[in-house]
Structure 1
């Protein structure tokens, strides 16, 4: 019985996300699932507002190009066919939920740094993805 037909691997493209490769490949193989990779870039305007005296467009474009290259490299090392690779600009949790719904994903796989104390109270990206998802979410602990 196939438990998950479509798996979305949400990546932050840090060095630590390499720890998700084996888990994603094993889950996808065990379920003969379609595997989607997604990285969301938050717009620089989110961080800096609209009051920056420089053009953020060029920097945003460079971030986008770097993310596409990093995601392609990650996919090459995964050892499993990728159905779709996506680099999206927007709010991380919102975009991951949107992608999951549009592609009718059964499982979202995301790394979690296992924060404690104040960071836990304020919430994390993995926590935000978990609470708004309409499908299963597997948060894999990332060791630093």
Structure 2
């Protein structure tokens, strides 16, 4: 990082996004920090049996789960590509991963040898904070610098 808080030229910034409307806010912040560095986007699709464990009994075996996940993956790819195009991120630098978000974000950061991970956070409190969040898991487990960008309603403290 330079003295003005920007990543110096040629460095890589990994931006983890959830593909919501707030993703633009996170990418803009990362772009302002990255300067002329490489920007990589990542979204992680969680396995349905993980997301619905305890809600849908025997989630991994309910009929059609594979087809539903494939369909969802196609839709997520389109949305990720939309954000990449909107912010002029090269197609090879828009990564769609499958698994546990924090683990996949940290693994990709290692694979591309990034200099900074940028991730959004809603500033959880109370029970939400105790249960943890993807941003918190990335922050406390990454071997890279992490910038958590507060998104959502201002004055929501």
Say whether the 8 Å CA contact 1:8–1:100 is kept in structure 2: yes
The residue that corresponds to 1:40 in the other structure is: 44
Structure 1 residues not aligned, in runs of 5+? none
Q: Which has the higher contact order (CA 8 A, sep 6+)?
A: 1
Superposition TM-score, scaled by structure 2 size: 0.83
Deviations 1:6-62 (A, max 9, x none): 100001111221211321221122xx2111111000000113347143220111011
Paired residues of 2:15 and 2:27 also in contact (CA < 8 A): no
Could you say which structure has the larger radius of gyration? 2
The counterpart of 1:51, out of the listed 52, 55, 58, is: 58
Between the aligned partners of 1:109 and 1:123, the Cα distance in structure 2 is: 17
Matches of 2:119 and 2:40, distance apart in 1: 12
Q: Which has the larger helix fraction?
A: 1
Separation (CA, whole Å) in 1 of partners of 2:125 and 2:100: 23
Once residues 9 and 69 of structure 1 are traced to their aligned partners in structure 2, the CA distance between those partners, rounded to angstroms, is 17
RMSD across aligned positions (CA): 1.9
Aligned residues: 142
- What is the SS of the residue equivalent to 1:45? helix
Gaps of 5+ in 2: 3-7
TM-score between the two structures when normalised by the length of structure 1: 0.90
Aligned to 2:14: 8
